[in-house]
């Protein structure tokens, strides 16, 4: 499988002394970090190496590796935020469908195996490959920053 975005993610991960997601959380500039919301237990951000336009991630604030280590509060909040994200993405990008899930462990395809995160990947019909999310680098219709601005604005309007 040729996936250049993955190489880039792994290179970034190796080059930082600590965890890339923990480092993003420490950044002060939300726009630079591509963070849409900093909630109590977790945060929501755009994937810098997206599978499709509007690809979001839900990440516990704690550096947690094992799914079973997540607390009820963390799980609840991440799921609630994913509901909001589906609503916002539908409004902003007219997404027709979504893939929501996690790659638990490097062998499952996790680019950052030491810090759990959920992916929400928007889908459109015509986007017919069963798993283009794993196999292709898509040409993005909008630049990442433009997408961020649009999503950030909409995020503030939905409760």
- Tell me, by CB under 5 A, how many residues bind Zn ion: 5
CA–CA distance, 56 with 93 (Å, rounded to integer): 13
117 annotated active-site: yes
Return the range that interacts with Zn ion (CB under 5 A); candidates 21-29, 44-52, 91-99, 120-128.
21-29
140 binds Zn ion (CB under 5 A): no
Residue 75 binding Zn ion, by CB under 5 A: no
CB of 114 to Zn ion, least distance (A): 6
Catalytic residue from among 55, 63, 115, 117: 117
The distance of Cα 9 from the centroid of its chain, to the nearest Å, equals: 13
Helix, coil or strand: residue 137:
coil
| Dist. CA 23–CA 149, nearest whole Å | 22
Angstrom distances, CA of residue 93 to CA of 44, 46, 82, 119: 17, 14, 16, 17
- Nearest by Cα to 99 from 136, 140, 57: 57
Does 117 sit near Zn ion (CB under 5 A)? no
- Please check whether residue 135 is in contact with residue 129, taking contact to mean a CB–CB distance below 8 angstroms: yes
Q: Is 64 in the site for Zn ion (CB under 5 A)?
A: no
CA dihedral (142, 145, 149, 155) in degrees, to 10, reads 90
Under the binding rule (CB under 5 A), the answer on residue 70 touching Zn ion is no
22 belongs to the binding site for Zn ion (CB under 5 A): yes
Nearest distance from residue 6's CB to Zn ion, in Å?
A: 18
Residue selected from 9, 13, 21, 148 as contacting Zn ion according to rule CB under 5 A: 21
Q: Note whether 19 binds Zn ion by CB under 5 A.
A: yes
Name the residues annotated as catalytic.
117
- Contact residues toward Zn ion (CB under 5 A) are 19, 21-22, 63, 115
């Amino acid at each position: 499988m040729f996936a250049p975005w993955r190489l880039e993610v792994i290179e970034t991960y190796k080059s930082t002394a600590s965890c890339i997601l923990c480092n993003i959380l420490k950044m002060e500039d939300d726009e630079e970090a591509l963070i849409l919301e900093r909630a109590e237990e977790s945060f929501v951000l755009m994937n810098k190496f997206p599978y499709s336009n509007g690809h979001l991630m839900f990440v516990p604030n704690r550096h947690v590796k094992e799914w079973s280590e997540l607390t009820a509060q963390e799980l609840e909040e991440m799921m609630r935020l994913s509901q909001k994200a589906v609503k916002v993405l539908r409004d902003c990008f007219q997404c027709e469908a979504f893939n929501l899930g996690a790659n638990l462990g490097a062998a499952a395809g996790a680019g950052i195996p030491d810090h759990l995160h959920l992916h929400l990947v928007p889908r459109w019909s015509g986007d017919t490959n069963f798993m283009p999310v794993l196999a292709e680098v898509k040409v993005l219709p909008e630049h990442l920053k433009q997408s961020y601005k649009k999503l950030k604005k909409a995020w503030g309007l939905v409760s």
